[in-house]
Structure 1
């Protein structure tokens, strides 16, 4: 467990639910030490099965946001059968990363800067060397993907709905 990243239990109670409820995603909190269903990476990482995001108090916030953004970014047919791996293309994966940065700004008790630090500490790998550098200098395709599907408005704000 990486002690540097912010954990879900460090957020205000209900903060994740308030952020994600407009998308129809249900959060399922598990007790510490309980295996997380649908976790691609295992250990403390969030899991995704259908419309349920599974997490524990020690789940990294960036992991919860990342899996939630997979739910938001997949099309309706894939969303109906989601289990562990969203099986998206590289552009969709970058869209997920971009959207999680936008949502981090709206998450009470978190921020985009903290998300980027957590992503770097966890080991996300970007050509420009850091999550922040990628977002600022190499993410135009990710934003275009999100805007193509109406997930981000022309103002740069999340649309509050899932991909059709």
Structure 2
């Protein structure tokens, strides 16, 4: 086995070892955490996992694991670039998919998280109405299912 093949396999193993817990945590986040805070907005928004009352910031887990997944996917793609196309496309799809999901997270989810959080705690920075919070929470959950499906596809 060549050095390049070993490097490709190492990156693929890293993707599996990081992707499994990442996908499991994302499912937990969607079903349990988001299920609680999005149940009856705007009142349930106070249950969002942010602020002093929440012992752990979910970003402490998701940001490094997502970065590791991105590195693993693009590392495998770079190391396996010389493989025949029938294999290389299997390295391209997760790399581009993970990148797209991270862009979606920054562009769509981070602003929604902030808007919903500010509304839930009645912050002076609140910019949405109760009706908008209901619609936004619903949209957040729908988009998060897209994120989970994309993460599952990349993991597979």
Do both share a fold (TM > 0.5)? Answer: no
TM-score (norm 1): 0.26
Larger strand percent: 1
TM-score (norm 2): 0.27
**Structure whose CA Rg is larger:** 2
Larger helix percent: 2
